[in-house]
Amino acid sequence: MHSWPSAKEWTKQPELTNQQMAFKLHKESRDWFKKIFGKSPFGTMFDLYQACLVLGLAAERCEPEESSMTEFMDEFIQRYRPYQTTIIGSMISVVLSRKGISSADREAVSKEISRLVSGDSARGDLTIEGFRELNGYALGGFNLLRESFDSPPQHPASFLAKYRQILEETRLGLQI
Amino acid sequence: MPREEVINAIRSEIESRNLPQEAGDRILAFIKQAESSEFPNRDREEQLALILDALPSLEAEQGDSEL
Amino acid sequence: MKIELLGWKSEGLRSPDIEVKLEKSDGSVARVSLLQMPNGTGKTTTLNCLRAAMDGSAETWPEDKVKSYREIHGKRDLGLFVATLRVNDTQKIIVEMTFHFNEGVVTYKTIVGSKTVDNYSPPPDVRRYLDPRFSKLLFFDGELANNLIDGKGTTSASQIIDTFYGLYHLFELKENARRSYELYEKRSGPAKGAAQLTKLISRRDSLREKSQKLRQQAESNETHLQEFRHEHTRIEVELEEHLLKSGQFKEEENRAHEERDQASSRLEVAFHDVDLIFPDPFAIWPPLAARVHDLVESLDRLKLTEQSSRLFLEELVEEPVCVCDRPMDSAARASILKRADQTLEDAVNGYLKSLKRQVQPYAKDGPSTFGEAVDRIVAADNDLTEAGKSLENIRTRAVAAGDDVSQKKKDALEKIRGEIEALEDSVENARRPTRTGDDERCGCIDYFEKRLKEAENDLARLSGTRDLKHRTDTLIQVIDSAYKQAHSLLKDDVVKRANVRLRQILRYNPVQISDIGNSVQLEGRGGASVGQTLAVGYVFLAGLLYEGGNQFPLVVDSPVGSLDDEARKELGGLIPILVKQMVGFVIATERKWFVDPLADASDGDLLYLTHLRINEYTKEIIADLGGNKRSGSENGILLEGRDAFMALGEGMDETT
């Protein structure tokens, strides 16, 4: 058999895949967190995501999705389902504020919410744009962590202590 | 049908180069189909691939086991 | 294959409306049909349409070209040109071209026997001969014969042979192969030499070796690591037992153990608490709860959380009466639909209601349970560390106060710890994912695996491309050689037959073809007479068109246009010998010296046709011309007969 593609393959169209509706983290995050990953409370990737996301929302730091991000889940895991609504609600409130949308502007608020939320709870309640925003805040949180730590975390306890400190600093506006 | 002279020429070339007869058959099949004017590009590519398939590989001709 | 042109019809075009029938009363076609059409009668239009009817090329004519075929000052939106052919004496093929002047397109209809198809669709066996490349040979002007000899035409004699015998299909195959290879090469990179291939193979092998080596090393290290850890634990236990034997530090140690255990327990509980609350963003960061509260309040104010279902509103407008009992008139409908438009999708609506419910239990400024749990973790962790240090301190004092055995064990533990750390680093480095900055000096397995995969892909691509190139080259060589062989044989045959004919025709002044290349090359002396040149040209063409029992109509525009008397005479005497059907378009000034020899040589098998546009001038002369009216219309007339043909004044070409 020949080692070159057949005529059919020369004209093959690329396949379309739907990786837009998924939770994504920076591909180096697994390596960065490796010493604490698998230990309480970071038993799953979703836990790492949560840490990054909450920090990103607190610091109001959203960064555009990069090709260096990889997806790890396409829906909320069991443990997080009871908080799916409030996690998304947190994101909505931060996005509205970031975009300067007045809370009195019914049309703009309505439009923005429709952009982010599909209401399809089996698919995470989020639209493609919603996933993009959420992942953006998670990425922002991760980058903030990397900037704040001298080296990757070694122990969950020390990590959590520093994490809490960084959170507090966002309240005081010491973080950009 | 291709002209007799064309058929003979293809066959004699195939033979003199020790190429598989199948390659000659496929070349003539291509020409025959081209003459019929109903020979869209897609079919041409497929027929061409079959011709090339029937010709011996570089490896076979060189006896190079590395490839 | 025998193809005869039986005639044509044209309506609504630039040329006058006319029907031309070339069939004689017995159904055969005349050997020679001369069609005298003065300038302005639409000769070019007719020739072009005839050709397009035969080869289907008008399907792709540009819009302005189609529109230019409309009769001048014409009002008709459609024009028609119909050509009738007969194949192998039995099968009639009618090709109808309809000119849609407004749209600028030509549509075809093909009628074969009783079957009609709404496009250009001659039977497959005939189609080959009607291909534009081939039909070009059937339509030519008097210049072509000359050009064959001097090689100045756009088509060389050699190309004509290729066209006639279908050798261009070999070129097509060659082109296909070349283009396909180039496309593949573009996607995969060019084929390189054997040296490049060897280099790649060597690199692949070296990467494979390195990767394997690192794996083996990592496995070995992991085994050793396990062994060291076991050893460490074993010695630790031995040390502890040994130390506890002496009562002095026993109590201290017990207390330290207890503190350590309690700290460990508190730590575990604290982690467990964090684990439980971690999925709750409001627990981690309470200000988020405040923000969501504010959000919900604003949604309430905007009436976005307690709105009617959009679907409900959309269905409501279908009802005859509204829920408030008012009749559903157009105003009410419009108002409800406007409201529906401003309503969020039901699913989103549902989400917002859910959000409102779920945020209720949270205070706007609640404490951070996460923060509290982290405090407890930190405290317990510190206690654990202290307890550990305390234990270590006790051991150190015990060892200092103690014997060699304890010291030796402590030293052993330290040494093993060192080994463990080194091995852990090494394994970690081997097993980690590759990162920026890694190079061939790193010990990361992933790095080498990735490089190996790249090298394997490059190798496959390169060897694939080389192989394809080899096969393509082989095919091209086969085609080139086969073409040379076939072309040479066919050409020799053409030359041989043409020379036989030439000896017959130019008995007293024979000229012979020596070879056919770009031009038809003549033997011996340089330069043949005009007459001889023409003879060679026509013999060459006729030789092709009538070879092997084939027959095709020759349609010639101005066969003797620029020739002198002698040449005209020669050609006139030559054509009927060479052809089985020729249709010549002439003007009056071409008749002299040509028609009479032509008539003699045709032995009566010559159809004289005169086609005129009917206008103020021609109306007067038509009656005087005599002849039989073969066909006519409001703006055109076709007369048959030699008398009318010869009576038409040469001055006609200066008037329209």
Q: Is the pLDDT of residue B67 over 60?
A: no
**Maximum average pLDDT range among B26-30, C141-145, C495-499:** B26-30
Give contacts of B 28-57 with C, CB under 8 A.
30-31, 34-38, 44-45, 48, 51-52, 55-57
pLDDT at B37: 63
Q: Which alpha helices (H) appear in C121-193, and where do they start and end?
A: 124-130, 132-138, 142-150, 157-164, 168-188
pLDDT at C12: 93
Closest of A107, B4, B30 to residue C493, by C-alpha: B4
Closest of C569, C267, C182, C176 to residue B41, by C-alpha: C176
Count Cβ atoms below 10 Å from residue C641 Cβ, excluding itself: 18
Query: Which of B13, B27, B61 is opposite residue C173, by nearest beta carbon?
Result: B27
Q: Which residues contact C212 (CB under 8 A, 6 or more apart)?
A: none
Q: Is the pLDDT of residue C542 over 90?
A: no
Q: Is the pLDDT of residue A9 over 50?
A: no
pLDDT at C154: 64
Q: Which alpha helices (H) appear in C246-344, and where do they start and end?
A: 250-277, 281-284, 287-301, 310-316, 330-341
pLDDT at C174: 93
pLDDT at C616: 84
Percent residues over pLDDT 90 in chain C: 40
Interface test with A, best of B45, B50, B62, B67 (most A CBs within 10 A): B45
Q: Is the pLDDT of residue C52 over 80?
A: yes
**Cα dihedral across residues C261, C266, C270, C276: positive or negative:** positive
At A1, the pLDDT band (50, 70, 90 cuts) reads: very low
Across the interface, do B58 and C466 touch by the CB < 8 Å criterion?
yes
Across the interface, do B45 and A10 touch by the CB < 8 Å criterion?
yes
pLDDT, tens digit, 9 for 90 and up, residues B34-55: 887 678 888 888 899 999 999 9
Across the interface, do B5 and C485 touch by the CB < 8 Å criterion?
yes
pLDDT at A71: 83
pLDDT at C426: 94
At A176, the pLDDT band (50, 70, 90 cuts) reads: very low
Q: Is the pLDDT of residue C408 over 80?
A: yes
Three-state SS annotation for chain A: CCCCCCHHHHCCCCCCCCCCCCEEEECCHHHHCCCCCCCCCCCCHHHHHHHHHHHHHHCCCCCCCCCCEEEEECCCCHHHHHHHHHHHHHHHHHHHHHCCCCCCCHHHHHHHHHHHECCCHHHCCECHHHHHHHHHHHHHHHHHHHHHCCCCCCCHHHHHHHHHHHHHHHHCCCCC
Closest of C623, C288, C617, C140 to residue A89, by C-alpha: C288
At A6, the pLDDT band (50, 70, 90 cuts) reads: very low
In angstroms, the CA A153 to CA A42 distance is: 12
pLDDT at A11: 33
Across the interface, do B37 and C128 touch by the CB < 8 Å criterion?
yes
CB-CB contact of A95 with A136 (8 Å): no
Query: Which of A2, A3, A7 is opposite residue B48, by nearest beta carbon?
Result: A7
Average pLDDT estimate for A131-158: 94
pLDDT at B18: 92
Across the interface, do A2 and B48 touch by the CB < 8 Å criterion?
no
Residue spans of the domains in chain A: they are 21-171
C177–B contact, CB cutoff 8 A:
yes
If one compares A22 and A142, the residue with the highest pLDDT of the two is A142
Average pLDDT estimate for C637-646: 91
**Cα dihedral across residues C545, C550, C551, C555: positive or negative:** negative
In angstroms, the CA A77 to CA A46 distance is: 7
pLDDT at C592: 86
Tokens of C613: 């546009």
pLDDT at A3: 38
ipTM over 0.90: yes
Q: Is the pLDDT of residue C589 over 90?
A: no
Residue spans of the domains in chain C: they are 3-156+518-654, 281-371
Which is the CATH superfamily of the domain at C3-156+518-654? P-loop containing nucleotide triphosphate hydrolases (3.40.50.300)
Residues of chain A with Cβ-Cβ distance to B46 below 8 Å are: 7-8
pLDDT, tens digit, 9 for 90 and up, residues C9-26: 999 999 999 999 999 888
Average pLDDT estimate for C562-576: 82
Q: Is the pLDDT of residue C652 over 50?
A: yes
pLDDT, tens digit, 9 for 90 and up, residues C91-115: 999 999 999 999 999 999 999 988 9
pLDDT at C653: 62
pLDDT at C525: 57
Q: Is the pLDDT of residue A22 over 60?
A: yes
If one compares C334 and A157, the residue with the highest pLDDT of the two is A157
Which chains lie within 8 Å of chain A at 3 or more CB pairs, if any? B, C
| Torsion (CA) C61, C65, C66, C71 in degrees, nearest 10 | -160
Instruction: Give, for C496, the enclosing helix (H) or strand (E).
Output: helix C445-505
Q: Is the pLDDT of residue C209 over 50?
A: yes
Interface test with C, best of B4, B28, B67 (most C CBs within 10 A): B67
At A16, the pLDDT band (50, 70, 90 cuts) reads: very low
A7–B contact, CB cutoff 8 A:
yes
Written as one letter, the residue type at C548 is G
Across the beta sheet with C628-632, the strand order is: C139-141, C554-557, C582-586, C32-36, C606-613, C636-640, C628-632
Angle formed by the axes of helices A128-148 and A45-58, nearest 10°: 80
Across the interface, do B36 and C124 touch by the CB < 8 Å criterion?
yes
Across the interface, do A11 and B53 touch by the CB < 8 Å criterion?
no
Q: Is the pLDDT of residue A14 over 60?
A: no
pLDDT, tens digit, 9 for 90 and up, residues C435-490: 888 999 999 999 999 999 888 878 877 777 778 888 999 999 999 999 999 999 99
| Torsion (CA) C493, C495, C500, C502 in degrees, nearest 10 | 150
